[in-house]
Structure 1
Amino acid sequence: MQIQLNRVLVTLAIIVVLLVANVSISMDAVLANTSEEVTEDVVENEEEQETTSETNQEETNDSENDEVKEETSEDTESSDKSSEEDVDEESSEVEEEEDKESEEATHSEEKENAEVTEETEEDTSTSKENTENETSEENTEDDTSSEDETEEPSTFSAEATTMQDTSWVTPFKEDLTRLGFGGMNINDTYGNFTAKRVGEFQAYYGLNVNKEADEATLAKLDDILSSPFQKGETHEDTIELKKLLTWLGYGNMNINEIYGSFTETRVQQFQRDHGLKDHGIADEPTWNKLREIVDTVFQVGNEHPGVVELKRNLTTLGFGNMNINEVYGNFTETRVRQFQANYGLSATGQVDQKTLKKIDELLKVSFYQGKTDSDVVSLKEGLTKVGFGNMNINEIYGNFTETRVSQFQDYYGLRATGVADPQTVEKLNQVVNSPFQEGETHENTIELKNLLTWLGYGNMNINEIYGSFTETRVRQFQRDHGLKDNGIADEQTWNLLSEMIDTVFQVGNEHPGVVELKRKLTTLGFGNMNINEVYGNFTETRVRQFQDYYGLRVTGVADYQTVELLYEIADSPFQEGETHDDTIELKRLLTWLGYGNNW
């Protein structure tokens, strides 16, 4: 009996060895030989069983069982090794069929023989299953497809074998898949391919790459999936996100705090275009890449779709005449530098986030051609009041409005862009609401009237009230000197008045104000001049004498300080024909000094 079983087992071992060595032996021949040997073994087995005692059978069977198990284990190990060396499924199926044929041919009536045969079949089947599982895992690693894992699942790694709850693995895989780390079978098994995906996730987000679902990995996963920068969420920084995307050519979104489906689409497009995981969530790598590109792409020599939008916006704001394309050239740099200088930014010619934010701000609050807004009405009314009118007073900002705004800007020393930006509107409001216009009262109106009077625009009451005659005198002065005759003493009017006082009263000039100057000097004892508009040498001499007498700097030029003192003394209340309370004290002082009997 032992010899018969040994022969069967040896035959099986020979088949396995032949398969491992890849010996080209006809399988049909091996199967035929095996079948004949098994048949002979069965005949001999039946004859021997009839003459063998029951006791000897039990002892023999015990010994045979031990040997069979040892040999079967060796065969299984050999089969495992063979499987690792690419034993295919067909070989395992042949083994199974041979075992079945051996079982049917033996027709053993003995229980021990049946158990031995059953154990042999189980070992062979186990070898086949292990071979299939290992082959499946190898194919999974190669094809990055689904996994068929036989290891005991772990909550942290593929290597751990401790029995524990693995129900969390399924949602964990779903979350990884949501973020672009998928291709796994969605089940509770944490195998090698899952570990591989975890490692990729960790590397992508800058974590320690240990391929384990540790605390840091789980926390990072939760942080991303709970991000406020994903579809359906609202956050104030979504505005900045949309601006960054728009600046780089991913625009046409409503710039607000809502992260809608189109925002998600734009984020996904950006992520795909720049090699990021395109899950549509604006995660840290996405934010970093956006800021990196914005800070580097807008400079000479670069080409980028965002340059097109940049040029259009600059043109809208009055910094145009560029070719609208993706090229950031030298002239674009010049326009950017001009824009930056005009709005108090660092004039580098390279567009940074501050420059882009300023552009967005101006586009939002400025008025420019083609824009319709109720505030355009008040803008046109203000322009008309200060002398830039003849527009249709409505909400439309058209070509002629742009022309008037440009003229206003040029007149008041602003860059003539034709765009009513905050600087322009502020200046317009300053002029329109000036205290130096009809109906207003201001202490400096006295100085204004003095200046006008000294220059020949007098006969006003010198006080703080800006009346209609003061407005008339201002208009006359403005017309005579090429200013906008709006009757408002604006910055341009004040500047010219002061400039003329410091320059007109000197030798060689002619001005109507020289007539009044000579009259005042004559009143104060510095006369004998021809009373006309000519400021000649003798007038200069009289001015020098006046300056010396009253302790002023002697120049012969009737500057502001000289003229101011001249008019102050000449218009004193302490002169013939005037009345003043302090005249009483004056007379007493004169009497005490021997100049009495004067009243």
Structure 2
Amino acid sequence: MWNARLISGVVCGSVVIVTYAQAANAARSQDYSPAQFISVLNGLGYAVQLDAPITDPRVQQAIRDFQVQYALPVDGTLNNPTQDKAAEIVRSLQSGLNRVVKPSPQLPGSQFYGRQTEAAVKQFQQQNRLPITGTATLETRRRLNAILNDEDPLTPPTTPSTPTTPTIPAERSQLSIYTEPQIKAILAGFGYDINPQAPLSDPATVRAIRDLQRLYGLSETGAINRDTEEQLSRVMRNLRNNLKLILRSNFAIAQYYDAATRAAVEQFQSRYGLRVNGIASLAVRSRIDAEARRIRSGS
């Protein structure tokens, strides 16, 4: 039996490959077992438990989120492009950590996310004042890449000035995926009881954001940071992709909870005997995911 945290294998080949069929030889030395792939998902910050089966709904959702994020075929399975991309990311992560953290012994440059990789990630996070989790979240990987590209030299932190305004609006100005109204539309569309007229720092909105961050394994800050925006984008694109498949419509794959999304959710709820309110709560999203899986499997 494979250990979910086992590091093993040697990656073969150094030739740049451009097709999925050929990439398997370069990106990974072997197919992932379900436990090994779940370990990679967990190590990259997706909300999965290491002892969960591959059929667990959250694991299936994490695989689809991964596939949507990297423009891979979205089917919730360990298809070749998905395994190749995961191997590429882990190998790149280990290579970067070897250059920046210089762990001893060095990471093996393999496709597996094991305890040695986790320890090196923790060391990097500690050195760069990030939450020390051992999980290579997008924030951690962006910081690592910035250092490797000399975009973010390590300098002593400046003494922060006393803030005179809430931190959330200041942070929003640096983000480009969503506006505040779009964020609140998603939260309301997911069934959170928030005040659409209140700022993102409103306690009810902060609680809703923190709950979503907990659900998807993000840092529970209660603020909309880049990782949270990207996760919302993945969830929304997956939701709309599934609705398009189920309803057999020309529904656009976008990242917003707009009137078209609400109408599609209402149509789904009506078709499957659910309460028709246009709200894609976690239970409704899970039902949508299940129906989409059933259609894809042809059952």
Give the TM-score of the pair, scaled to structure 1. 0.19
Of structures 1 and 2, the one scoring higher in RCO (CA 8 A, sep 6+) is 2
More helix by share: 1
**TM-score calculated relative to the size of structure 2:** 0.33
Bigger radius of gyration among the two: 1
